[in-house]
Amino acid sequence: MDIKIPEVGESVREALLAKWFKKNGDIVKRDEPLCEIETDKITLDLNADVAGLLTISVAEGATVAVGAVIGVIDESTAAPEVSAATATPGLAEKLAVPSSSPSLRREMREHNITPDEIEGSGKGGRITLDDLFSRIEEKSKMPPSSRPAVPVEPALSAPEHPVVPSVEAPPTDIQPANVLVPDVPPVQPLSVHTEQTPVYSSGREERRPMSPLRKRVAERLVAARQQTAMLTTFNEADLSHVKSLRSTYHEHFLQRHGIALGFMPFFVKACIEALREFPQVNASIDGDDIVYHHYYDIGIAIGGDKGLVVPVVRNADRFKLYEIDQAISAFVEKIKSNQLNISDLEGGTFTISNGGVYGSMLSTPILNPPQSAVLGMHAIQDRPVVRDGQIVIRPMMYLALSYDHRIIDGREAVGFLKKIKEYIEEPEELLLEG
């Protein structure tokens, strides 16, 4: 069975084959991760559709067209299935255990550790991250001669010619109507390189090619500066009431919804209510027209290993607080496991970026065109403020709203941000709604 670069979106025509998790000649199992590919929008893992012998035809570092064949799985040499009934008790128990998380499997691959080397301490013998880290630490203390040997295979070279998909006639017994084969332009492969062997290194500096995702981010950031009239206005919010509500309802939310109540749902709800009152902020420019969106698709900027991505919570106005938290948590897990889809990133009418998770005190978030505004959250700090003529210490957060001055006037931008401040400082209404 051919392994092909999948279609991940209409605008994506090529992908970087970033990493093979398996070696040429390995026996692979069905649904086992084979390789990691990067596009200008997302990073994702390709899993085996069938079990069998893997033959790799395209090396790491090559840029290949969507639909191109990068390897083959020979199903005739698949490993024999071991049933739980005939397996030894220990093995049967392990077979019954749910599969480990993608992040754990990734760590095991990167450290050349197999499940057989680890004694799981989780339920039913399941391997936990603590078990894995203990094994990594144990291996690091072993003398080189006693460490398990890792087979080394000759590296594949990047193809001399662009890797493009071959188009074959459909089988005679299957004749789909109106089959359209898109023209795919030749794509020059990148030279093969790894983290251990940079493309260029001299003394105390080295040069590496930008990943497709990083290049796309760079292009959009420059375009946002050049194609919009971006300004930023600032305010600050007292989070005393929000923190008090989170503390009061923490156990309730955890027991009822299986998730702790975070800060982000309050800000999503506050933004939606403010957008209702200031529809210009939820609008966008299309040529000479202003398009007013009467729905609320809120983008949440999330930093991943490969760069910043902005998945969208669609129709967020219909979500309760815990549902917003669950949606964001699901996106975070997707990003960690390289399972984010193009559909998760498309659209969006307004974006929220939280630099506070990195300790940022104040910043000017950049627009995410064609959206006309973005809210920047920052770190919560105890600061002295005046309340009723008295100096008191309160948990304060600076807020920043960057907006496109072509469509949003300063009065509207300031009023919008003040409205968010009011909802955050008096959040009871938001909690009752969610």
Residue 181 has pLDDT above 70, yes or no: no
Q: Which of 71, 65, 70 is nearest to 7 (CA)?
A: 65
For residues 154 and 37, the model is more confident at 37
Check residue 177 and give its pLDDT: 43
**Residue 191 tokens, joined:** 């030279």
Check residue 355 and give its pLDDT: 94
Check residue 351 and give its pLDDT: 97
Catalytic residue among 2, 74, 130, 409: 409
Sketch out the chain's domains with CATH numbers.
Answer: 216-433 (3.30.559.10)
Which of 61-70, 152-161, 264-273 reaches the highest mean pLDDT? 264-273
Question: What does the pLDDT look like over 113-160, one tens digit per residue?
Answer: 777 777 777 656 667 766 776 777 677 666 544 445 444 344 444 444
Please tell me whether the overall predicted TM-score, pTM, comes out greater than 0.85 for this model: no
Give CA–CA dist 262/3, Å, rounded: 41
What percent of the chain shows pLDDT beyond 70? 73
Residue 273 has pLDDT above 60, yes or no: yes
Give CA–CA dist 234/375, Å, rounded: 10
Question: What does the pLDDT look like over 195-227, one tens digit per residue?
Answer: 444 556 667 888 888 877 788 778 888 988 888
Residue 185 has pLDDT above 60, yes or no: no
The CB density around residue 339, as the number of other CB atoms within 10 Å, is 16
Q: Which of 342, 349, 355, 344 is nearest to 368 (CA)?
A: 349
Q: Is 344 a catalytic residue?
A: no
Check residue 348 and give its pLDDT: 94
Give CA–CA dist 302/349, Å, rounded: 16
Average pLDDT over residues 406-416: 97
Residue 365 has pLDDT above 90, yes or no: yes
| Helical (H) or strand (E) element with 85 | none
Check residue 61 and give its pLDDT: 83
Q: Is 405 a catalytic residue?
A: yes
Distances (CA, A) of 84 to 88, 95, 97, 115: 8, 7, 11, 17
Average pLDDT over the chain, rounded to whole? 80
Catalytic residue among 74, 250, 252, 405: 405
User: What's the count of helices (H) and strands (E) in the chain, helices before strands?
Assistant: 10, 21
Q: Which of 431, 420, 361 is nearest to 396 (CA)?
A: 361
| Out of 83-97, 274-288, 345-359, 361-375, least confident range | 83-97
